[in-house]
Amino acid sequence: MSEHVALLTTGGTIASSRDEHGVSRPVAGAGIELDGVRVREVMSKDSSALNFTDLDTIRTATADALAEDGCVGVVVLHGTDTMEESALYVDLFHDDERPVVFTGAQRTSDHPDPDGPSNIAAAVAAAQSEQGVLIAFGGRVLPARGAIKKHTTELDAFRSAAIPRPKPLQWKPVAGIRVDIVALYPGADGVQIDASREAGASGIVLEALGSGNTNATVVHAVKQAVAAGVHVVVTTRVPFGETSPTYGGGGGGHDLVDAGAVFSRELRAGQARIQLAALVAVGASDVVVHNSFS
Protein backbone atom coordinates (compact mmCIF):
# COMPACT_ATOMS: atom_id res chain seq x y z
CA MET A 1 0.00 0.00 0.00
CA SER A 2 1.40 3.44 -0.94
CA GLU A 3 2.54 5.91 1.69
CA HIS A 4 -0.17 8.28 2.81
CA VAL A 5 -1.39 10.58 5.55
CA ALA A 6 -4.63 9.50 7.22
CA LEU A 7 -6.98 12.43 7.75
CA LEU A 8 -9.74 11.83 10.31
CA THR A 9 -12.71 14.16 10.47
CA THR A 10 -14.62 14.68 13.72
CA GLY A 11 -16.60 17.84 12.99
CA GLY A 12 -16.05 21.34 14.33
CA THR A 13 -16.00 24.72 12.64
CA ILE A 14 -13.68 23.48 9.90
CA ALA A 15 -16.46 21.11 8.77
CA SER A 16 -19.33 23.54 9.41
CA SER A 17 -21.31 25.98 7.34
CA ARG A 18 -23.74 28.76 8.21
CA ASP A 19 -27.46 28.42 7.61
CA GLU A 20 -29.83 31.17 6.51
CA HIS A 21 -29.89 32.52 10.08
CA GLY A 22 -26.11 32.72 10.32
CA VAL A 23 -25.88 29.76 12.71
CA SER A 24 -22.86 27.49 12.25
CA ARG A 25 -23.64 23.78 12.16
CA PRO A 26 -21.38 20.78 11.46
CA VAL A 27 -22.07 18.86 8.27
CA ALA A 28 -21.19 15.27 7.41
CA GLY A 29 -17.86 14.96 5.62
CA ALA A 30 -15.26 17.63 5.11
CA GLY A 31 -15.16 17.55 1.29
CA ILE A 32 -11.36 17.22 1.31
CA GLU A 33 -9.44 15.72 -1.59
CA LEU A 34 -5.64 15.88 -1.42
CA ASP A 35 -2.97 13.77 -3.07
CA GLY A 36 -1.47 11.28 -0.66
CA VAL A 37 -4.20 11.87 1.92
CA ARG A 38 -6.86 9.33 2.83
CA VAL A 39 -9.93 10.82 4.48
CA ARG A 40 -12.06 8.95 6.97
CA GLU A 41 -15.08 10.37 8.79
CA VAL A 42 -15.00 9.41 12.47
CA MET A 43 -17.90 11.60 13.64
CA SER A 44 -19.51 14.95 12.95
CA LYS A 45 -19.89 16.87 16.20
CA ASP A 46 -19.11 20.24 17.68
CA SER A 47 -16.15 19.67 19.97
CA SER A 48 -18.07 21.34 22.81
CA ALA A 49 -20.45 18.36 22.67
CA LEU A 50 -17.77 15.66 22.94
CA ASN A 51 -17.72 13.32 25.93
CA PHE A 52 -15.28 10.70 27.18
CA THR A 53 -16.80 8.05 24.91
CA ASP A 54 -16.02 10.30 21.94
CA LEU A 55 -12.44 10.77 23.13
CA ASP A 56 -12.04 7.00 23.28
CA THR A 57 -13.41 6.82 19.73
CA ILE A 58 -10.95 9.44 18.46
CA ARG A 59 -8.02 7.73 20.14
CA THR A 60 -9.02 4.35 18.71
CA ALA A 61 -9.42 5.85 15.24
CA THR A 62 -5.91 7.32 15.35
CA ALA A 63 -4.44 3.99 16.46
CA ASP A 64 -6.33 2.15 13.72
CA ALA A 65 -5.11 4.63 11.11
CA LEU A 66 -1.50 4.20 12.20
CA ALA A 67 -1.93 0.43 11.94
CA GLU A 68 -2.67 0.70 8.21
CA ASP A 69 0.13 -0.20 5.79
CA GLY A 70 1.78 2.88 4.37
CA CYS A 71 0.46 5.38 6.91
CA VAL A 72 3.20 7.93 7.71
CA GLY A 73 1.13 10.08 10.05
CA VAL A 74 -2.36 11.14 11.06
CA VAL A 75 -4.21 14.44 10.89
CA VAL A 76 -7.32 14.92 13.02
CA LEU A 77 -9.77 17.66 12.07
CA HIS A 78 -11.36 18.84 15.30
CA GLY A 79 -13.28 21.74 16.78
CA THR A 80 -11.19 24.30 18.61
CA ASP A 81 -13.28 24.44 21.80
CA THR A 82 -11.85 21.20 23.18
CA MET A 83 -8.98 20.47 20.81
CA GLU A 84 -6.47 20.79 23.65
CA GLU A 85 -8.28 18.05 25.61
CA SER A 86 -8.55 15.55 22.76
CA ALA A 87 -4.98 16.17 21.63
CA LEU A 88 -3.63 15.57 25.13
CA TYR A 89 -5.75 12.43 25.49
CA VAL A 90 -4.19 10.94 22.36
CA ASP A 91 -0.76 12.11 23.51
CA LEU A 92 -1.04 10.38 26.90
CA PHE A 93 -1.20 6.97 25.17
CA HIS A 94 0.84 7.68 22.01
CA ASP A 95 3.81 5.30 21.80
CA ASP A 96 4.54 5.64 18.08
CA GLU A 97 7.26 7.73 16.43
CA ARG A 98 4.83 8.78 13.70
CA PRO A 99 2.97 12.03 14.36
CA VAL A 100 -0.67 12.71 15.11
CA VAL A 101 -1.52 16.32 14.26
CA PHE A 102 -4.70 18.07 15.33
CA THR A 103 -6.04 21.05 13.43
CA GLY A 104 -9.26 22.91 12.80
CA ALA A 105 -10.50 26.38 11.97
CA GLN A 106 -11.92 29.54 13.44
CA ARG A 107 -13.95 30.26 10.31
CA THR A 108 -16.55 28.01 8.71
CA SER A 109 -15.87 26.23 5.43
CA ASP A 110 -18.17 28.61 3.54
CA HIS A 111 -16.49 31.78 4.86
CA PRO A 112 -15.18 34.09 2.09
CA ASP A 113 -11.66 33.74 3.53
CA PRO A 114 -11.57 30.43 5.42
CA ASP A 115 -8.56 29.50 7.53
CA GLY A 116 -9.23 25.77 7.32
CA PRO A 117 -7.35 25.02 4.07
CA SER A 118 -4.07 26.57 5.25
CA ASN A 119 -4.34 24.82 8.60
CA ILE A 120 -4.97 21.48 6.90
CA ALA A 121 -1.97 22.00 4.61
CA ALA A 122 0.24 22.79 7.60
CA ALA A 123 -1.07 19.77 9.50
CA VAL A 124 -0.47 17.40 6.57
CA ALA A 125 3.08 18.75 6.19
CA ALA A 126 3.68 18.21 9.92
CA ALA A 127 2.25 14.69 9.67
CA GLN A 128 4.91 13.94 7.06
CA SER A 129 7.87 15.37 8.94
CA GLU A 130 7.35 15.79 12.70
CA GLN A 131 7.02 13.46 15.69
CA GLY A 132 4.64 13.24 18.62
CA VAL A 133 1.13 14.62 19.07
CA LEU A 134 0.86 18.19 17.88
CA ILE A 135 -1.52 21.03 17.14
CA ALA A 136 -0.98 22.82 13.81
CA PHE A 137 -2.94 26.04 13.82
CA GLY A 138 -2.61 29.64 12.64
CA GLY A 139 0.96 29.24 11.40
CA ARG A 140 2.22 27.44 14.52
CA VAL A 141 3.02 23.79 15.19
CA LEU A 142 2.77 23.21 18.94
CA PRO A 143 3.11 20.20 21.24
CA ALA A 144 -0.26 18.96 22.46
CA ARG A 145 0.87 18.75 26.08
CA GLY A 146 0.47 22.16 27.69
CA ALA A 147 -1.60 23.60 24.84
CA ILE A 148 -4.31 26.14 25.56
CA LYS A 149 -6.73 28.06 23.35
CA LYS A 150 -5.85 31.63 24.19
CA HIS A 151 -8.35 33.57 22.04
CA THR A 152 -11.95 32.93 21.03
CA THR A 153 -11.73 34.26 17.46
CA GLU A 154 -8.15 35.05 16.42
CA LEU A 155 -6.80 32.83 13.67
CA ASP A 156 -3.61 32.28 15.66
CA ALA A 157 -5.59 30.80 18.53
CA PHE A 158 -3.29 28.43 20.42
CA ARG A 159 -0.23 28.59 22.61
CA SER A 160 1.66 25.86 24.44
CA ALA A 161 3.78 25.75 27.56
CA ALA A 162 5.95 23.02 25.97
CA ILE A 163 5.97 20.74 29.03
CA PRO A 164 8.18 17.63 29.08
CA ARG A 165 6.20 14.58 28.03
CA PRO A 166 5.97 11.63 30.43
CA LYS A 167 6.20 7.98 29.46
CA PRO A 168 3.06 6.94 27.51
CA LEU A 169 0.38 5.07 29.41
CA GLN A 170 -1.07 1.72 28.38
CA TRP A 171 -4.45 2.65 26.95
CA LYS A 172 -7.64 2.03 28.86
CA PRO A 173 -10.95 3.72 27.94
CA VAL A 174 -12.10 6.65 30.06
CA ALA A 175 -15.80 6.32 29.23
CA GLY A 176 -17.78 6.09 32.46
CA ILE A 177 -15.16 7.85 34.60
CA ARG A 178 -16.23 11.07 36.27
CA VAL A 179 -13.72 13.86 36.86
CA ASP A 180 -15.13 17.30 37.64
CA ILE A 181 -13.64 20.79 37.46
CA VAL A 182 -14.46 23.20 40.27
CA ALA A 183 -13.68 26.89 39.70
CA LEU A 184 -12.57 28.73 42.81
CA TYR A 185 -13.09 32.43 43.55
CA PRO A 186 -13.08 34.83 46.52
CA GLY A 187 -15.57 33.47 49.07
CA ALA A 188 -15.85 30.00 47.52
CA ASP A 189 -17.13 27.27 49.80
CA GLY A 190 -17.11 23.47 49.68
CA VAL A 191 -20.58 22.96 48.14
CA GLN A 192 -19.37 22.05 44.65
CA ILE A 193 -16.58 19.82 45.96
CA ASP A 194 -19.05 18.02 48.23
CA ALA A 195 -21.51 17.65 45.36
CA SER A 196 -18.84 16.11 43.09
CA ARG A 197 -17.81 13.68 45.81
CA GLU A 198 -21.43 12.68 46.45
CA ALA A 199 -22.03 12.28 42.69
CA GLY A 200 -19.33 9.62 42.58
CA ALA A 201 -16.48 11.58 41.03
CA SER A 202 -13.19 9.72 40.94
CA GLY A 203 -11.34 12.99 40.68
CA ILE A 204 -11.75 16.73 41.07
CA VAL A 205 -9.64 19.43 39.45
CA LEU A 206 -9.59 22.73 41.34
CA GLU A 207 -9.10 25.83 39.20
CA ALA A 208 -7.57 27.82 42.03
CA LEU A 209 -6.42 31.40 42.46
CA GLY A 210 -2.93 32.73 41.80
CA SER A 211 -0.24 30.08 42.11
CA GLY A 212 -2.77 27.62 43.56
CA ASN A 213 -4.56 29.16 46.52
CA THR A 214 -8.02 29.26 48.07
CA ASN A 215 -9.48 29.51 51.58
CA ALA A 216 -9.80 27.32 54.68
CA THR A 217 -13.38 26.24 53.89
CA VAL A 218 -12.33 24.80 50.54
CA VAL A 219 -9.30 23.13 52.12
CA HIS A 220 -11.60 21.37 54.61
CA ALA A 221 -13.82 20.11 51.76
CA VAL A 222 -10.74 18.87 49.90
CA LYS A 223 -9.59 16.95 52.97
CA GLN A 224 -12.99 15.24 53.20
CA ALA A 225 -12.95 14.38 49.49
CA VAL A 226 -9.46 12.89 49.66
CA ALA A 227 -10.44 10.88 52.73
CA ALA A 228 -13.32 9.46 50.66
CA GLY A 229 -10.89 8.27 47.98
CA VAL A 230 -11.27 11.16 45.52
CA HIS A 231 -8.13 12.37 43.73
CA VAL A 232 -7.88 16.18 43.93
CA VAL A 233 -5.59 18.07 41.54
CA VAL A 234 -4.91 21.81 41.83
CA THR A 235 -4.45 24.09 38.81
CA THR A 236 -4.91 27.84 38.46
CA ARG A 237 -7.15 30.22 36.58
CA VAL A 238 -4.04 32.21 35.54
CA PRO A 239 -3.33 31.36 31.87
CA PHE A 240 0.42 30.71 32.12
CA GLY A 241 3.11 30.05 34.69
CA GLU A 242 3.76 27.28 37.20
CA THR A 243 1.61 26.66 40.22
CA SER A 244 3.41 26.36 43.54
CA PRO A 245 2.19 25.18 46.98
CA THR A 246 4.09 27.83 48.90
CA TYR A 247 1.39 29.76 50.78
CA GLY A 248 0.00 28.75 54.15
CA GLY A 249 -2.44 30.58 56.39
CA GLY A 250 -5.18 27.97 56.24
CA GLY A 251 -6.16 28.29 52.59
CA GLY A 252 -2.92 28.43 50.64
CA GLY A 253 -1.40 25.87 48.34
CA HIS A 254 0.65 24.42 51.17
CA ASP A 255 -2.58 23.74 53.07
CA LEU A 256 -4.14 22.06 50.02
CA VAL A 257 -1.17 19.69 49.82
CA ASP A 258 -1.51 18.94 53.54
CA ALA A 259 -5.17 18.11 52.85
CA GLY A 260 -4.08 15.53 50.25
CA ALA A 261 -4.30 17.48 46.98
CA VAL A 262 -1.72 17.19 44.19
CA PHE A 263 -0.49 20.20 42.22
CA SER A 264 -0.50 20.28 38.42
CA ARG A 265 2.44 22.59 37.89
CA GLU A 266 1.77 23.42 34.24
CA LEU A 267 -1.37 21.76 32.87
CA ARG A 268 -4.45 23.96 33.12
CA ALA A 269 -7.84 22.65 34.20
CA GLY A 270 -9.04 21.19 30.89
CA GLN A 271 -5.92 19.13 30.25
CA ALA A 272 -5.42 18.30 33.94
CA ARG A 273 -8.91 16.76 33.94
CA ILE A 274 -8.02 14.59 30.93
CA GLN A 275 -4.76 13.42 32.46
CA LEU A 276 -6.42 12.62 35.79
CA ALA A 277 -9.18 10.64 34.06
CA ALA A 278 -6.56 8.68 32.09
CA LEU A 279 -4.63 7.90 35.27
CA VAL A 280 -7.81 6.74 37.00
CA ALA A 281 -8.62 4.55 33.98
CA VAL A 282 -5.30 2.74 34.16
CA GLY A 283 -5.72 2.23 37.89
CA ALA A 284 -3.09 4.70 39.03
CA SER A 285 -2.30 4.94 42.73
CA ASP A 286 -1.96 8.18 44.69
CA VAL A 287 1.81 7.93 44.27
CA VAL A 288 1.57 7.62 40.49
CA VAL A 289 -0.91 10.51 40.28
CA HIS A 290 1.44 12.67 42.33
CA ASN A 291 4.46 11.85 40.21
CA SER A 292 2.53 12.33 36.97
CA PHE A 293 1.54 15.90 37.81
CA SER A 294 4.64 17.11 39.68
Residues annotated as catalytic (active site), given as ranges: 13
Q: CA 195 to CA 25: how far, in whole Å?
A: 34
Q: CA 183 to CA 148: how far, in whole Å?
A: 17
Inter-residue contact 230 to 197 (CB < 8 Å): yes
Q: CA 42 to CA 54: how far, in whole Å?
A: 10
Give residues with Cβ within 8 angstroms of 111, minimum separation 6: none
b (16+ CB within 10 A) / e for 78-102: bbbbbbbbbbbbbbbbbebebbbbb
Strands 140-143 and 133-137: antiparallel
Kindly report the number of other CB atoms within 10 A of residue 167's CB atom. 6
